[in-house]
Structure 1
Amino acid sequence: MRLILVSNRLPVQWDGTPNVGGLATGLSSFLSHWKSQGHEVIWVGWPGKSIPEKEQNLYAKKMLQEHGTIPVFLKQKLADSFYNGFCNKTIWPLFHYFTANCEYSDITFDSYEEANEEFAKTIRSIYQPGDWVWVHDYHLFLLPGILRNEFPNILLSFFLHIPFPTFEIFRLLPERFRTKILKGLLGADLIGFHTQSYTQYFLRSLLRCLGIENERGIIYFQNHLTKTAAFPMGINVEQFSKYANSIECDTIANQINTNHKNLKQILSVDRLDYTKGVLQRLNAFELFLKQNPNWIKRCKLVLVLVPSRTDVSSYQSMKRAIDEKVGAINGSFGTLDWTPILYQYKGFPFEELVPLYKNTHVMLVTPFRDGMNLVAKEFLVSQRNGMLVLSEMAGASAELPEAILVNPNDLSGMANAIRDAIEMDETEILTRNQMMISRLKENSVMDWANKIYLETEETAKRNQNFQTKSISPNSELLLPKTKQPIFILFDYDGTLVPFQSLPHLAVPSKDLITSITKLSQIANVSIAIISGRDRKFLESIFTGLPLHLVAEHGAWHKAPLEPEWTSLFHSHLDWKKEIKTHLDEFTKRVPGSFTEEKEYSLVWHFRNADPDIGLNAAREMLDELSQISSNSGFFIQRGNKIIEVREYGTGKGKAAMKILPNKEWETFAFGDDTTDEDMYRELPETAITVKIGKSETIAKYRFQNTDDVHLWIQNLINYLTKVS
């Protein structure tokens, strides 16, 4: 299998120089293993520089041959607006909760759309059926949706390396932006996040922004299902621990210790960015020295700051502020023979970074917000006796609760954490570290990537099963196969008519009534409307038509053109008064909801309620009612934006079998809800069953919407008229 890995930047710079750190470093061991299994890897991304058009073909050929990469060519103006604009002035600050830093621009969002289209264009030129396409990070939110439209059966994963914010933060995006981002992501088979919290924030944003619910993390959208889950990214544990235990690493670490005069080393390693909280960390270290003068001349902070976005003025200002703070601390506390902070404004290669980790007594990883932070994990597996001080705002904190967790906004708490870490008993440190290291060994970067691949493959298989049911309303498979009489069962809401905000607004069009009338007048055709609606409503809609009407999910039946309704079962309804009181209480609590009372059932509607409040209330109601339903004469069923409580013994399955005149008839059944699954289950195996909508079903086929049902009715009329 070929892996097409897609990210904003390639693993090499425009001139072929390897990029140090980031995704390229994190995935290197997995990609090596993937290739060793005989699989091919192609990495698609922007080379980081605008390449003149006349040089692009030669450049692309060279990059593919030498590095296995395919560049996406973006004009410099587009790249600036896309990357420095929408990516770094809108998405990056917003998703890290720096809302005051955000800019919302139609111009940069248009560039974001155009850049995603350019990425899709490049992938389109190389994609082959059977490829696994793995898209990475916030620069390419729209790409999965574009590719899904192009290649409906593409095997596609998306992983977000930064936090996904809460709904209240995400909703700050203009509606056009957030709608396209969410719908774009739903083109993937699998959407992966670092933590369960980020996953839940995404699902809640889907619900609140688009009204799309999920079933245990599975989302059904536009005839496609997408799985969401947490996959905490790991590191190459073996690589770090093996080198940390080598003689070469020991030699370098001992030299560092000698140079630092055996002082206790406090280490900070970060890229220059306002989300990392470097200045706050320096303030906390300063407070630590003030509050703990006994540690003056006994410790040293090694501050490693990796240059980033050096051409951006705000980052230049940040760098100056950090420089000034380091100078101020060294000036205030330093002596001729001791400097509190060793400041290194550069990146360190692996062979120098691991000895730094190994020689560290306290590791400070205290970002204001971070998707994961692999530095914390690298430190842990590179040494045994150092203590990790970790921000509770970093995704890694969910995996590493044995670290000393701090709030980066709490200066006193951070200063105290430094003291606690540097003075912690070695036995306590070893105990905590062993627990965290054991956990990291169980979730290496290899495990992480393999899980994502396997989950994507499994979801893609479910999608194939899901989509094989989809069928055109004009398909010959949905036409009668014999000369036997025909019996057709239609659900009402969501099948014959679309859902409306209020039930009484859901009425059929004149064209539909005309079609049903024509169909019912054809010889040897019988039609039943089998619905949860009450008797009065069904009779008012289909008055005068020769149809079977079944109301309240099978509680009542009216034969064609008969004046009276007959009950299909006997009931006491002892439970109804008590349950209505419960439902009315929820109606008072949830604005926009209401309770509908029928003879044999009660329905609580929350279609017009706030999506989040309504869904949470529905879950609470289900839990509450299920506790009192045992041996109480009723059962509870979740429907489309409703909770229905009805009498035992009712049900579309039982009702359908009671009104079917003969099992030898050719039977067709159409429905959209969970209540219709009972009908599909009870009908003869020969019955043609059709699900309307996107949720899972045992029906044999699937229509997209009510329009497909109307088309099928018209197609059947034409067929029967022709053959007669």
Structure 2
Amino acid sequence: MRLILVSNRLPVQWDGTPSVGGLATGLSSFLSHWKSLGNEVLWVGWPGKSIPEKEQKKYSEQMEKEYGTIPVFLKQKLADFFYNGFCNKTIWPLFHYFTAHCEYSDLTFQSYEEANEEFAQTVAKIYQPGDWVWVHDYHLFLLPGLLRNIFPNIFISFFLHIPFPTFEIFRLMPERFRTKILNGLLGSDLIGFHTQSYTQYFLRTLLRCLGIENERGVVYHQNHLTKTGAFPMGINVEQFSNYAKSKECAEIANSINRNHKDLKQILSVDRLDYTKGVLQRLNAFDLFLKENPHWIRKCKFVLVLVPSRTDVSSYQSMKRAIDEKVGSINGIYGTLDWTPILYQYKGFPFEELVPLYKNTHVMLVTPFRDGMNLVAKEFLVSQDSGMLVLSEMAGASAELPEAILVNPNDLKSISEAIREAIEMPKEEIQNRNQIMIKRLSENSVKDWAEKIFHETEEAATKNLSFQTKSISPNSEQLLPNANKPIFIIFDYDGTLVPFQSLPHLAIPYPELIENFKKLLSLKNVTIAIISGRDRTFLENHFGDFPIHLVAEHGAWHKPPNIQNWNSLFTSSGEWKSQILNHLNEFTKRVPGSFTEEKDFSLVWHFRNADPDIGLNAAREMLDELSQVSSNSGFFVQRGNKIIEVREYGTGKGKAALKILPNDDMNIFIFGDDATDEDMFREMPEPAITVKIGKSETMAKYRFKSPNEVQIWIKNLINYLEGKNETP
């Protein structure tokens, strides 16, 4: 199988030299394993600089041949506005909760769209059916949707390496930007996040911004399902652990530590970025020395700061502030033979970083906000008895609760954590670390990637099944066979007419009335409407037609050309008053909701309520009523923005069977929600059952909307009229 991995940057720089750190390093062990199984990898990304158009063809061929990479060519201005603009001045600060740093520009978002389209075109040129496309990170939020539009059955995953913010933060982004971002993401079969919290924030954002609900993390949107989940990224545990135990590593560690053998080492390794809290960390170390003078000359703070975005003025200012703070601490506390902070402004290769970890007694990982933070994990598997002090705002904290967790905004808390860690008995450190290391060993980067692959495969398989049910309303498969009579059963709301904000507004269109007249004028055609609506509504709108009307999900039946309604079962209705009071209490609590009372059922509507409040109240109501419904004469069912409580014995499936003749007929059933599944389930096998909408179903086929039901009715009329005219 071929993996097309798509990220903003390629794993090699434009001149072919390897990229240091980042996704390329993190995925290297999985990609090696993937290739060892006989699979192929192509990596799509921007090479890091603008390549002249006349050189692009030759450059592409060279990069693919030598490195297995496919470059995306962006003009320098577009790359600037895309990467330095929308990516790093809008998404990055917003998703890390630095809202004051955010800029909202139509110009940079337009560049973001154009860059994503360039990526889509590049992938489209190399894509083959059966490829697994794995898109990475916030630079490419729109890409899954763009690819889905080109290849409806594409097998595609998306993974977000940064935090996903709460809805209250996300909605600060202009609606015209955020809607496109969410729709783009929903083109994926699977969307992965580092933590369960990020997943829940995303799902709540979908609900609040687009009104899209989820079923246990699965989202149905535009005739496609997308699975969401938490997949905490791992590291190559064996690589770090084995090298840390090697003779070579021990020699490097000893040479680094030769002049500081008696000093306890405190280590910080971070990229220069305002989200990392480096200056805050220095201030906490300053406070630690003030409050614990007995540790002066007995410890050293090794600060490794990896250069990042060196051409951005705000990063240059941050670098100056850090430099000044390092100089201040060293000036105040340093002596001729002791420097409190050893400051390195550069990146370290793997072979030097692991010995640094190995020498460390206290590892400080205290970002203000971080998607995961793999440094914390690398440290744990590279040393014997060092203690991790970890920000509770880092995604890794969900996996590593045995570390000393701190609030990165609380200097005193970090200072005290340094003291606790540096004075912690070796035995306790090892006990804590063993638990965390075992956990990390069970979720290596290889396990992480394989899990994402299998979950995507499962979601894509469901999608394929989901797609195969979708059918054109003009399909010949939906036409009646032979010369047998035709019996058609329709649900009403969401099937014959779209949902409206209030039930009384959902009245039949004149076109529907005309089509019914035409259908009924043809011989051997019988129509039934089986609805949750009450008798009065159905009588008012369809009482003049010679059709079966079934109200309240099968409680009442009015046969064709008969004036009176017949009850299909008897009831005492003792349960209603108690439940009505209960539903009314929810109506008071949830503005925009209301309770509808019928003869044998009660319906609580929350379509007009705040989506978050309404959905939470609906879940609470379902839970409460389900606990008291057994042996109480009623049962509870969730519908489309409604909770329905109705009497046992009612049900569309049983009602449909009661009105269907025993004759050999062409049977068609159309419905849109959970109550219609009873009909699909109860019908004889030859019946053609059609689900309207996007949720899972037992129906054989699926239409997207009530509009397609109208198209089918017209198509049937044309077919039957043409047949009648044939000599």
TM-score, normalised by the number of residues in structure 1: 1.00
Shift of 1:15: 0.8
Separation in 2, partners of 1:597, 1:205: 33
Separation in 2, partners of 1:685, 1:129: 34
1:318-333 matches, within 5 Å, as: 318-333=318-333
Check the 8 A contact 1:489/1:528 in 2, yes or no: yes
Give structure 2 stretches of 5+ with no counterpart. Answer: none
1:528-539 matches, within 5 Å, as: 528-539=528-539
1:300-449 matches, within 5 Å, as: 300-449=300-449
Is 2:168 aligned against 1:168? Answer: yes
Separation in 1, partners of 2:528, 2:332: 88
Which SS does the other structure have where 1:97 is aligned?
coil
1:450-465 matches, within 5 Å, as: 450-465=450-465
Separation in 1, partners of 2:168, 2:662: 57
Separation in 2, partners of 1:72, 1:106: 23
Separation in 2, partners of 1:282, 1:166: 29
Q: Deviations over 1:576-630 (max 9, x none)?
A: 0000001000000000000000000000000000000000000000011111111
TM-align CA RMSD: 0.6
Which SS does the other structure have where 2:181 is aligned?
helix
Q: Deviations over 1:548-577 (max 9, x none)?
A: 000000000001121100000011100000
Provide the residue aligned with 1:281 in structure 2.
Answer: 281
Which letter does structure 1 place at the counterpart of 2:191?
A: I
Which letter does structure 2 place at the counterpart of 1:644?
A: E
1:54-65 matches, within 5 Å, as: 54-65=54-65
Separation in 2, partners of 1:661, 1:520: 17
Provide the residue aligned with 1:472 in structure 2.
Answer: 472
Give structure 1 stretches of 5+ with no counterpart. Answer: none
Provide the residue aligned with 1:295 in structure 2.
Answer: 295
Separation in 1, partners of 2:682, 2:459: 29
Separation in 2, partners of 1:111, 1:541: 52
Q: Deviations over 1:105-161 (max 9, x none)?
A: 000000000000000011111111111100000000000000000000110000000
Provide the residue aligned with 1:129 in structure 2.
Answer: 129
Shift of 1:663: 4.8
Check the 8 A contact 1:357/1:383 in 2, yes or no: yes
Which letter does structure 2 place at the counterpart of 1:121?
A: Q
Check the 8 A contact 1:234/1:444 in 2, yes or no: yes
Separation in 1, partners of 2:191, 2:395: 17
1:475-624 matches, within 5 Å, as: 475-624=475-624
Provide the residue aligned with 2:177 in structure 1.
Answer: 177
Provide the residue aligned with 1:101 in structure 2.
Answer: 101
Separation in 2, partners of 1:461, 1:663: 38
Separation in 1, partners of 2:638, 2:365: 46
Which SS does the other structure have where 1:17 is aligned?
coil
Provide the residue aligned with 2:660 in structure 1.
Answer: 660
Provide the residue aligned with 1:48 in structure 2.
Answer: 48
Shift of 1:195: 0.2
Check the 8 A contact 1:663/1:684 in 2, yes or no: no
Provide the residue aligned with 1:639 in structure 2.
Answer: 639
Shift of 1:59: 1.0
Which SS does the other structure have where 2:133 is aligned?
strand
Separation in 2, partners of 1:672, 1:343: 65
Provide the residue aligned with 2:75 in structure 1.
Answer: 75
Which SS does the other structure have where 1:493 is aligned?
coil
Which letter does structure 2 place at the counterpart of 1:512?
A: L
Shift of 1:261: 3.5
Separation in 2, partners of 1:721, 1:54: 62
Check the 8 A contact 1:491/1:529 in 2, yes or no: yes
Separation in 2, partners of 1:10, 1:508: 56
Which letter does structure 2 place at the counterpart of 1:565?
A: W
Provide the residue aligned with 2:12 in structure 1.
Answer: 12
Separation in 2, partners of 1:659, 1:451: 50
Separation in 2, partners of 1:129, 1:259: 60
Q: Deviations over 1:66-111 (max 9, x none)?
A: 1111110000000000000000000000000000000000000000
Provide the residue aligned with 1:215 in structure 2.
Answer: 215
Identity %: 80
1:123-272 matches, within 5 Å, as: 123-272=123-272
Which SS does the other structure have where 2:215 is aligned?
coil
Separation in 2, partners of 1:10, 1:681: 51
Separation in 1, partners of 2:563, 2:69: 75
Shift of 1:327: 0.1
Check the 8 A contact 1:243/1:249 in 2, yes or no: yes
Check the 8 A contact 1:693/1:704 in 2, yes or no: yes
Deviates more, 1:292-301 or 1:473-482: 473-482
Shift of 1:276: 0.2
Shift of 1:543: 2.7
Q: Deviations over 1:639-658 (max 9, x none)?
A: 00000000000000000001
Shift of 1:259: 2.3
Separation in 2, partners of 1:667, 1:387: 70
Separation in 2, partners of 1:294, 1:326: 20
Shift of 1:482: 2.2
Which SS does the other structure have where 2:214 is aligned?
coil
Which SS does the other structure have where 2:275 is aligned?
helix
Separation in 1, partners of 2:280, 2:161: 23
Shift of 1:326: 0.1
Deviates more, 1:376-385 or 1:657-666: 657-666
Separation in 1, partners of 2:664, 2:698: 22
Provide the residue aligned with 1:677 in structure 2.
Answer: 677
